[in-house]
Amino acid sequence: MSYDRRDFLTLAGTALGALWLGADPKALRASLTRARDAREALARGDAPPPFEVLTPEQAADLEAIAARIIPTDDLPGAREARAVNFIDHGLATWAADRRQDLLDGHAAFATAITQRHGATQRFADLSETQQDEFLAVHEDDDFFEDMLFFAVAGTFSYPDWGGNYQGAGWKILGFDDRYIWQPPFGWYDAKQNGGPN
Amino acid sequence: MARFAPSDPVDFVVVGSGGAGGILAKELSTRGMSVVVLEQGPHVGPLDFHHDEFKHFTLAAYQNQRQLQPQMFKAGPDAEAQPRMAVMYHRMVGGGSMCFTANYRRFRPLDFNERTRLGPIAGTGFADWPIGYDDLEPYYTRAEWELGVSGEPGPFDPPRSRPYPMPPLPVKSSGVLFERGARAIGLHPQPAQMAILSQPFQDRIPCQQCGYCIGFPCEHRAKSATLYTVLPVALASGRCELRTECFVAQVETDDRGRVSGVVYFDSQKVQQRQRAKAVVLCCNGAETPHLLLNSGNNRFPQGLANSSGAVGRHLMFNSNAIVTAQFEHPLNDWKGAMVTRIALDFYDTDPARGFYGGGALDGRFFGYPLVYAMRGAPPGTPKWGAGFKQALRDGYCNQMDVLCEGTSLPLETNRIELDPDLKDAWGLPAMRVTYRDHPDDLATVGFLQTKALALLEAAGATRTWARPPAPQNFGVHLLGTCRMGNDPATSVVDSDHRAHDVPNLFICDGSSLVSSGRGQPTATIQALAFRAGERIAELAKKGQI
């Protein structure tokens, strides 16, 4: 089992423990190979890879949920980060054992939408206001807790894993992924050392 | 690299290639001994290292993993055991020395004789070491000069025979603010001593300030990990063979009760047996006792080297807590080596506080992007939506932490045992961890938190917050479980790191520590390893093993 929501929540109080979940090494190796393939595919073109697990309807809903968790404003959100591709790739690889739970959770969620908004309605079709109202009612459900993890991980994880497309999540934070920096680093050390602010 | 046949008894098998094992491999092989190092993790290097939090933390690519090595956890001796990963370590060539923050502080004389100075503490295994600071000083110096440590003398330093080999790393904004706040409340901040190069050293380049220290191996080879320092010397000696992805299942003994070799599973999970004249365990403070307990037999029914019953006991995690602050201007503290300023004013126990313990404060930012998005935003931040995103935008570049690093009292009940039911991927009894902090340890970090809070407010923080100290259920400092001592009835190894019960079995890693120090054990573990290497080689040459 590579990802356990309860462990994630209970470990979240400790510094390193927050993200330490443990993985099946075989699944990890397979996933790393796919990550490399995905990276090479990205280098060839901008189109997102085809979904490995999700149906178009499931993908549309999960993307819409992620987009309400990290909405788009003047900076990109989970949608631009392609968090849904991270989720899909994860369900095919490192989170394969979570696949059924997540899809079952989504099915129940979709049913609740039809009960509230009509038999032909899907979450992705609702207005943002309706979406937020619905999520606020369901924010303690296991499915939404899972989606919180996946949306955040899909937006801020290293791009090799299928999300954080073109560093979308890093732009939200003001982070720049370089391997070499030089002082001054910030306002305070620049000021102390007389460098440019 | 040398190659040895498993059937040929080598002088030493060293189990583990981390902070201690790498040093033992070098010290023994360069003194003419034949050495086989068995490492359970892979041999990876700079080309494999990216700033990929998801790989390193979430998927635990180079850490012990629940699929291979599940654990049970008890939140105290009377608590029910639950499936839970409670101790973490790195499984790769270089081990924890690859992925630690690289704080590199010597213990002080008081860490070795605190029991005598303060008297007994009821209900604990509080004890003096059989060696003192003066015994270890030459080896701290060797560690600093052979591995590469940056720093400068501080106001509370213990005596040193040689200056630091290189000056401190450049100060970051967190260091500037830490220093400002510390001085304002009357403390004596100083540059952090780090096992990270500030200048070219040997064949390595200095720190490139990428910002990825804790939990990450250094892609620039600027962190002084054993993979980059002593292991290449060991392998170049022509007398040392490194075998990776080899998990040691058992230390074997002969009918005289002497160690005859080790049984291990290779990368294909095929059982192998390496014969050896002596064995050195450097697996870490969790896996070393785990291996000893799994090595029991008719002659050693309580586990190997465990006539005292002390194997696995006195586990110490180091108490710790964080205080976080935001400031008006950007710190961009995600850049640069993690820690640049520390304060050691509260190191010693002060009876006026009413409890045992002391500690240190250091300024840092635990803010890799994913970690930050998961847990970095201030309390009260919405879990999702526009408010959540805004908090991430506002906080990331303007935030820092002060880490409060404290003591842990050694308790018999905090321990590593074999779980009666759970098995690991090799079919061996899995580890069961029991841990509950002594009330004084929680009081110590609570006290340090009040000082960190005052420091950050004096530095001009616009907002501060802290989570009150709570009993730990997750440890990365794994100390004390095969403690050193003169009395075979209460300790596992003698001051030469030789097991009291088995003359040709040696143990040197975090498990050897008798006390926990003040939150930064690596310099001491590595000084012990340099000293152990010298002494064990001497014993071998005199035919006393």
- Pick from A151, A160, A186: CB nearest B331: A186
- Residue B518 banded pLDDT, cuts 50, 70, 90: very high
- Residue B244 banded pLDDT, cuts 50, 70, 90: very high
Name the pTM for this structure: 0.94
How many Å is the maximal CA-CA distance in chain A? 66
How far is the C-alpha of B57 from the C-alpha of B370, rounded, in Å?
Answer: 10
Q: What is the CATH number of the domain that holds B457?
A: 3.30.410
Q: How far is B130 from chain A (nearest CA, A)?
A: 33
Q: What is the mean pLDDT of each run of 10 residues along chain A (197 residues)?
A: 38 39 49 60 73 97 98 98 96 92 97 94 96 96 94 95 95 95 97 71
Tell me A18's DSSP state. Answer: G
Stretch 113-132 of chain A: residues touching chain B, C-beta under 8 Å: 132
Residue B156 lies in a domain: no
Over residues B18-58, the pLDDT tens digits come to 999 999 999 999 999 999 999 999 999 999 999 999 998 88
Same domain, residue pair B2 and B43? yes
Same domain, residue pair B282 and B307? yes
Over residues B334-378, the pLDDT tens digits come to 999 999 999 999 999 999 999 999 999 999 998 999 999 998 999
Burial level of B465, CB count in 10 A (0-12/13-18/19+)? middle
Would you state the pLDDT for residue A33? 60
Q: Does A7 touch chain B (CB under 8 A)?
A: yes
Counting the structural domains of chain A, the total is 1
Burial level of A139, CB count in 10 A (0-12/13-18/19+)? middle
Stretch 331-360 of chain B: residues touching chain A, C-beta under 8 Å: 331-336
Would you state the pLDDT for residue B130? 98
Note down the domain range covering B339.
166-192+320-406+438-471
Would you state the pLDDT for residue A27? 53
Over residues B470-493, the pLDDT tens digits come to 999 999 999 999 999 999 999 999
Note down the domain range covering A113.
5-192
Task: Quote the tokens at residue B372.
Answer: 């930050």
DSSP states of B43-109 = ---GGG----HIIIIIS-TTB--TTTS-EEEESSTTSPPEE---B--B-STTTHHHHS--B-----H
Nearest CA in chain A to B467: A13
Counting the structural domains of chain B, the total is 2
Using a CB-CB cut-off of 8 Å, the residues of chain A touching B173 are 185-190
List the one residue out of B308, B323, B207, B305 whose CA is nearest residue B257.
Answer: B305
Spatial neighbors of B258 by CB under 8 A, at least 6 apart, are B502, B503, B504
Residue B157 lies in a domain: no
- Pick from B210, B322, B384: CB nearest A181: B210
Using a CB-CB cut-off of 8 Å, the residues of chain B touching A177 are 51
CB pairs under 8 A between A and B: 205
Alpha helices in B299-410, H assignment, sequence order: 369-375, 386-395
Over residues B422-453, the pLDDT tens digits come to 999 999 999 999 999 999 999 999 999 999 99
> Is residue B280 within 8 Å of B507, Cβ to Cβ?
yes
Nearest CA in chain B to A77: B389
Selected residue of B327, B332, B396, B403 to mutate for chain A interface (largest A Cβ count, 10 A): B332
> Is residue B246 within 8 Å of B88, Cβ to Cβ?
no
Residue A197 lies in a domain: no
Q: What is the CATH number of the domain that holds B27?
A: 3.50.50.60
Q: Containing H/E element for B505?
A: strand B505-507
Q: Which amino acid is at B545?
A: I
Percent of chain B with pLDDT over 90: 97
Over residues B262-304, the pLDDT tens digits come to 999 999 999 999 999 999 999 999 999 999 999 999 999 999 9
Same domain, residue pair B292 and B328? no
- Pick from B57, B85, B385: CB nearest A68: B385
- Pick from A23, A169, A174: CB nearest B60: A23
Percent of chain B with pLDDT over 70: 100
- Residue B65 banded pLDDT, cuts 50, 70, 90: confident
Question: Which residue(s) pair with A61 in the sheet?
Answer: none
Does ipTM exceed 0.85?
Answer: yes
Task: Quote the tokens at residue B129.
Answer: 């070491």
DSSP states of B184-243 = HTT---EEPPBSB-SS-BTTBPPP---S--TTS--TTS-B--GGGTHHHHHHHTTSEEEE
- Pick from B173, B370, B397: CB nearest A156: B370
Q: Does B380 touch chain A (CB under 8 A)?
A: no
How far is the C-alpha of B43 from the C-alpha of B39, rounded, in Å?
Answer: 9
Residue A75 lies in a domain: yes
Task: Quote the tokens at residue B167.
Answer: 């000056």
How far is the C-alpha of A164 from the C-alpha of B205, rounded, in Å?
Answer: 31
Would you state the pLDDT for residue A195? 54
Nearest CA in chain A to B177: A188
Same domain, residue pair B249 and B325? no
Selected residue of A3, A5, A8, A20 to mutate for chain B interface (largest B Cβ count, 10 A): A20
